[in-house]
């Protein structure tokens, strides 16, 4: 693996701009590290570039987090540059044909190490800046150590053994030896424990978007929890995970919002439930993310819609990610408000088109767990003559014939009313809303999982019930008992709470429940009649890494 795999030869910052956020954009092409990182302003730009690296992970197609899981399958995929149409999606969703030249995997590996290189540069360049106050320097170093640990978490969970690179690279390197997973975990945990005291405790005392003690505690809880499942896990890992989660839950700086829907309400990104997020702004070509459009279907091809008139009401959806039938059936729609807050079940025409009038109800998807009789259908059509009613049994065609029926209740909690406006081309649909990486509801779920692994089922149920009662519709009781708690119930609850939030593959990997994808994702199941095999718990090392390493970088077993 040569330098160009993981090094930034010329640092070009693609920052963020918004009145609410600290990261600002500068085009520094042609300016070298040696003559720029000599004052506080230049150093702050370097710190910003470390944060900006997260956007390369989560935009525009964070495929590795969603495809090939029990709650997300592939939809009608558009061309991915560098490979034939649908090949990357088929490989990541169906596993069996996954190869080391998969473009999303190669990009993911490269972008993560690029982020690490930026963090290493920031650590290396921190000394000797005359106008950088000591307390600010220590805080920024803690922030980039947090970010570096997070990049390593993504790498080690996807690829297993990976090189720990701690130094800024400024000359060609032709070989890196991978470190063991245990070594990577030891490194990440040590880094976060060292960084934590120097991070801001109160998120209100720093600019939104910066890593804080809360973010470090959440990530540490996740690392201890994940390590606890592994062969090299330590006896106190689950206890430590629960303790860190409890510290965060008990903090006065964070709180669950009164309702699930409020968390994702447009304009409410800086709410107290959010612990850490990837920032976005409004500059085309730099700051958009696709979370608002990737979980939908192409409604704008249907009568009564088009790309322009539908953009504000529904965003310009594409179906990279399609919810599995299993996900829809996890909700008790009588009691649980999260179904309506997550999915869009009614589509209204956005323009007049022949007999269809703008505002007419065009598509309706009845609740999957409630009866919808012929009489119900007749009554709805009496007042909505242009409506097409699509029941759960008809959705099945979408899961068995991708590219055929492509209409389903789409994930809508990431909807952005300002995405891509004004409309000017097919890519002018990106959201400028932040992507939430850590939120307090997940902290509760991590605590529940840790308590389950400790055998403390009462405490696990207590944490789950806090989340479930927040989600309950008025007058409904969704509490469970300790006897109801299992790892599969926790995963079901995480699906209901975090559908589409780029967590699922890592959740299944951590809990060793990837087999759920081979049971509930019909395309994965059909491609693998023998079920899950061990090698699927890791991705292949990108072929480009192996080809460029002069001493032979090892491939993961089975690839």
Domain boundaries, the chain: 1-177+529-559, 299-411
1 touches 176 (CB < 8 A):
yes
The string of DSSP letters for 277-334 reads EE---S-TTTS-B-TTTTTS--GGGSTT--HHHHHHHH-----SEEE-HHHHTT--TT
The pLDDT assigned to 393 comes to 73
Tokens of 42: 């230049």
The pLDDT assigned to 28 comes to 42
Which residue bears the tokens 């509801």? Answer: 441
pLDDT digits (tens, 9 = 90+) for 301-348: 788 887 666 666 777 677 788 899 899 999 999 999 999 999 999 999
As a whole number of angstroms, the distance between CA 241 and CA 446 comes to 8
| Residue ranges in 285-328 assigned as alpha helix (H) | 307-314, 325-328
244 touches 447 (CB < 8 A):
no
As a whole number of angstroms, the distance between CA 488 and CA 493 comes to 9
Q: Which of 53, 47, 44, 52 is nearest to 17 (CA)?
A: 52
pLDDT digits (tens, 9 = 90+) for 427-477: 456 788 899 999 999 999 999 999 999 999 999 999 999 999 999 999 999
As a whole number of angstroms, the distance between CA 140 and CA 128 comes to 14
As a whole number of angstroms, the distance between CA 288 and CA 430 comes to 5
Secondary structure (3-state) at 535: helix
Task: Let me know the angle formed at the C-alpha of 546 by 155 and 73, rounded to the nearest 5 degrees.
Answer: 50
pLDDT below 70 — which residues of the chain? 1-35, 60, 76-86, 282-287, 307-312, 316, 395-406, 420-429
Label residue 473 exposed, middle or buried (CB < 10 Å: 0-12, 13-18, 19+).
middle
The pLDDT assigned to 397 comes to 52
3-state secondary structure 84-109: CCCHHHHHHHHCCCCCCCCHHHHHHH
Output the pTM of the full model. Answer: 0.91
The pLDDT assigned to 283 comes to 59
The pLDDT assigned to 21 comes to 56
The pLDDT assigned to 392 comes to 78
Q: What is the DSSP letter of 346?
A: E
Domain 1-177+529-559: which topology? 1.25.40
């Amino acid at each position: 693996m040569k330098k160009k795999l993981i090094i930034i030869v010329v640092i070009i910052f693609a920052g963020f701009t918004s009145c609410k956020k600290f990261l600002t954009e500068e085009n520094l092409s042609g300016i070298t590290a040696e003559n720029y990182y000599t004052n506080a302003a230049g150093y702050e730009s370097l710190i910003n570039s470390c944060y900006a690296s997260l956007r390369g992970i989560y935009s525009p197609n964070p495929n590795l987090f969603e495809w090939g899981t029990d709650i997300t399958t592939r939809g009608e995929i558009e061309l991915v540059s560098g490979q034939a149409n649908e090949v990357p999606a088929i490989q990541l969703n169906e596993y069996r044909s996954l190869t080391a030249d998969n473009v999303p995997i190669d990009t993911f590996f490269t972008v993560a190490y690029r982020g690490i290189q930026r963090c290493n540069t920031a650590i290396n360049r921190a000394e000797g800046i005359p106008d950088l106050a000591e307390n600010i320097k220590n805080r920024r170093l803690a922030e980039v150590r947090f970010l570096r640990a997070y990049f390593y978490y993504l790498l080690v969970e996807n690829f297993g053994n990976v090189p720990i690179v701690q130094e800024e690279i400024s000359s060609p390197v032709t070989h890196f030896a991978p470190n063991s997973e245990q070594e990577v975990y030891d490194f990440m945990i040590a880094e976060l424990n060292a960084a934590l005291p120097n991070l801001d405790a109160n998120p209100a005392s720093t600019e939104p978007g910066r890593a804080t003690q809360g973010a470090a505690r959440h990530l540490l809880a996740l690392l201890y929890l994940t390590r606890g499942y592994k062969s090299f896990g330590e006896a106190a890992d689950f206890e430590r995970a629960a303790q860190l989660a409890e510290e965060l839950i008990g903090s006065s700086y964070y709180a669950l919002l009164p309702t699930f829907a409020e968390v994702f309400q447009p304009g409410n990104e800086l709410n107290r439930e959010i612990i850490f997020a990837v920032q976005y702004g409004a500059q085309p070509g730099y700051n958009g993310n696709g979370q608002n459009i990737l979980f939908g279907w192409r409604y704008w091809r249907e009568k009564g819609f088009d790309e322009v008139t539908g953009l504000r009401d529904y965003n310009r959806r594409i179906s990279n990610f399609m919810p599995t039938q299993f996900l829809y059936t996890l909700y008790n729609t009588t009691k649980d408000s999260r179904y309506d807050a997550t999915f869009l079940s009614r589509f209204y025409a956005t323009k007049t088109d022949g007999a269809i009038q703008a505002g007419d109800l065009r598509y309706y998807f009845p609740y999957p767990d409630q009866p919808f009789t012929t009489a119900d259908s007749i009554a709805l059509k009496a007042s909505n003559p242009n409506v097409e009613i699509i029941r759960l049994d008809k959705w099945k065609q979408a899961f068995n014939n991708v590219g055929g029926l492509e209409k389903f209740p789409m994930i809508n909690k990431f909807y952005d009313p300002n995405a891509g406006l004004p409309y000017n081309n097919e890519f002018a649909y990106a959201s400028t809303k932040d992507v939430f990486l850590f939120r307090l509801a997940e902290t509760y779920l991590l605590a529940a999982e840790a308590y389950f692994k400790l055998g403390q089922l009462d405490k696990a149920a207590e944490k789950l019930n806090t989340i479930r009662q927040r989600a309950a519709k008025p007058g409904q009781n969704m509490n469970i008992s300790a006897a109801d708690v299992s790892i599969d119930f926790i995963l079901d609850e995480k699906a209901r709470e975090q559908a589409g939030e780029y967590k699922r593959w890592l959740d299944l990997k951590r809990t060793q429940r990837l087999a759920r994808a081979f049971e509930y994702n019909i395309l994965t199941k059909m491609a693998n009649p023998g079920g899950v095999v061990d090698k699927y718990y890791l991705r292949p090392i990108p072929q480009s890494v192996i080809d460029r390493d002069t001493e032979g970088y090892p491939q993961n077993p089975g690839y």
